[in-house]
Structure 1
Amino acid sequence: MAKYLLLKHYRGAPAPVNDICMDQWTPQEISDHVQFMNDFAARLEKTGEFVEGLALAPEGTWVRYDGEGRPPVTDGPFAETKDLIAGWMVIDVDTYERALELAGELSAAPGAGGKPIHEWLELRPLLTAHPTVTE
């Protein structure tokens, strides 16, 4: 088994791209979208492939160490940036091909009018062992 991160990107947010502009969706369309993701996770819990996942608020703060003891803080990322990271899910699957299959399925979550939103998902393997240097 290998663990993968499915990072949910709303590319081009907040402008609608493939009907991903949730502020224009009806309350029922938003509920249907969230239900799809909850059902997806529940199904993967039954197969043992779901590890965890969360939605993210659009607000954020950039922080980095400045060498002086007090890290500089910058507002952002902002929802009006090109990409908005909306949430993430960790899966534990037997093969990379299975991870691709599940990412493709999750990308088809419903949006406006119940149509698949073709959401961009970043698929990344989780590092399970520390890299070693050999001479």
Structure 2
Amino acid sequence: MAKYLLLKHYRGAPAPANCDAPMDQWTPEEISAHVQYMQDFAAKLETTGEFVDAQALAPEGTFVRYDGEGRPPVTDGPFAETKDLIAGWMVIDVDTYERAVELAGELSAAPGPGGEPIHEWLELRPFLAMPSTVTE
């Protein structure tokens, strides 16, 4: 088994095919359908043992970077208008990379405006694993 992180971007590059309208312009019903799709997807993966965790993130945040001079500087951002704002993430534990790609593709089909799949780009990242130790 290998763990993968699926990063869900608020707007990807290129923008999702059916997601020209920012989520703050979706109807409450469209947002509910989108969230329900993701909850159902996670529930399905719980039954197969492939779901590890998932969280949505608030659109506002703060950048912090230690500068070696005491209190680290704080900068506002990222902002909802940012091109690649991370909206949330899901961790899956699957047997193969191909399965991870399959699941990312399925999650990419979450509904958006008008109930149509938004075909959003998801970032698929494997967790860094320690190399196998060779013993003789």
Give the TM-score of the pair, scaled to structure 1. Answer: 0.89
Alignment RMSD (CA, Å)? 2.2
User: Is residue 60–residue 76 contact of structure 1 (8 Å, CA) maintained in 2?
Assistant: yes
Mapped partners of 2:72, 2:64: distance in 1: 6
Q: Which residue of 1 aligns with 2:96?
A: 95
Spell out the pairing of 1:5-84 with structure 2 (5 A cutoff): 5-11=5-11, 18-19=18-19, 21-84=22-85
**Percent same amino acid among aligned pairs?**
83
SS in 1 for 2:35: helix
Question: Post-superposition, which runs of at least 4 consecutive aligned residues in structure 1 deviate over 3 A?
Answer: none
How many residues are treated as equivalent by the alignment?
A: 131
Structure 1 unaligned spans of 5+: none
SS in 1 for 2:103: helix
Compared CA separation, residues 73 and 38, structure 1 to 2 (3 A): same
User: Is residue 11–residue 17 contact of structure 1 (8 Å, CA) maintained in 2?
Assistant: no
Structure 2 unaligned spans of 5+: none
Give the TM-score of the pair, scaled to structure 2. Answer: 0.88
Deviation at 1:21, TM superposition (A): 1.7
